[in-house]
A and B are shown apart, each in its own frame.
Chain A
Amino acid sequence: DGGITQSPKYLFRKEGQNVTLSCEQNLNHDAMYWYRQDPGQGLRLIYYSQIVNDFQKGDIAEGYSVSREKKESFPLTVTSAQKNPTAFYLCASSILGQGDKVEKLFFGSGTQLSVL
């Protein structure tokens, strides 16, 4: 089945530690996204990538880093600079819209990150 796989489902971070969240897709989508979800705040875009070896900052990129070495993979690193990392992190992918084609997002099942 085609889809997006996020791992791990739960992750704990110690003070001063960097942690990496995995996101893999087999939908052959060009674009991939990372969102952060906090209770009562909806989803906020962290980073996105429309092509391999290129990515763009979203609305809340500070304290996070990404890479896009392969089309299928878009890992997110939560660095020690992110002082409030506890949240639910969602990875998504889409085709790239052309003309009036509006992109539909496909989401993974998320990673819950907590601070020890």
Chain B
Amino acid sequence: AQSVTQLGSHVSVSEGALVLLRCNYSSSVPPYLFWYVQYPNQGLQLLLKYTSAATLVKGINGFEAEFKKSETSFHLTKPSAHMSDAAEYFCAVTFTGTASKLTFGTGTRLQVTL
């Protein structure tokens, strides 16, 4: 069975600091991996996705993630946090490319302080 684990339900960084949100997956076949962001009282929007092309994926708002097969990881990073990045971030995985088979992580809430 596929699964994703997001380490840390809450992460706090200072404005201008590096953002690192962790995601590890379990898989016996190559996965499709996604990061979604949810702002308060809103739906989710796609930040970026990995679909077996380049292992370093660039997304919107300056975020990027690197697929590391040896570590079964897909961590999300941003070099310099902005106050507007405060939100909840979800990692998700599917092995079929089918949205109906997406498994979401439990989410990481990012707080950005002055």
Contact = CB atoms under 8 A, between A and B. Distances in A.
Interface in B22-51: 32, 36, 41-46, 49, 51
Contact of A40 (B42, B98, B106): B106
Contacts of B100: 31, 33, 45, 48, 50, 56, 58
Interface residues of B, number: 23
Nearest to A104: B46
Contacts of B102: 45, 105
Interface residues of A, number: 29
Contacts of A105: 36, 44, 46, 99, 102
A39 B111 CA distance: 16
A103 B99 contact: yes
A26 to B, nearest CB: 15
A110 B43 CA distance: 6
Interface in A23-68: 31, 33, 40-45, 48, 50, 56, 58
B79 interface: no
Contacts of B43: 4, 6, 90, 92, 107-110
Interface centre among A42, A90, A112, by most chain B C-beta atoms within 10 angstroms, is A42
B97 A97 contact: yes
B42 A97 contact: no
Interface of A: 4, 6, 31, 33, 40-45, 48, 50, 56, 58, 90, 92, 94, 97, 100-105, 107-110, 112
Q: Which 8 A-B pairs have the closest CB atoms?
A: A107-B43, A103-B99, A42-B104, A43-B104, A102-B97, A42-B106, A107-B44, A94-B99
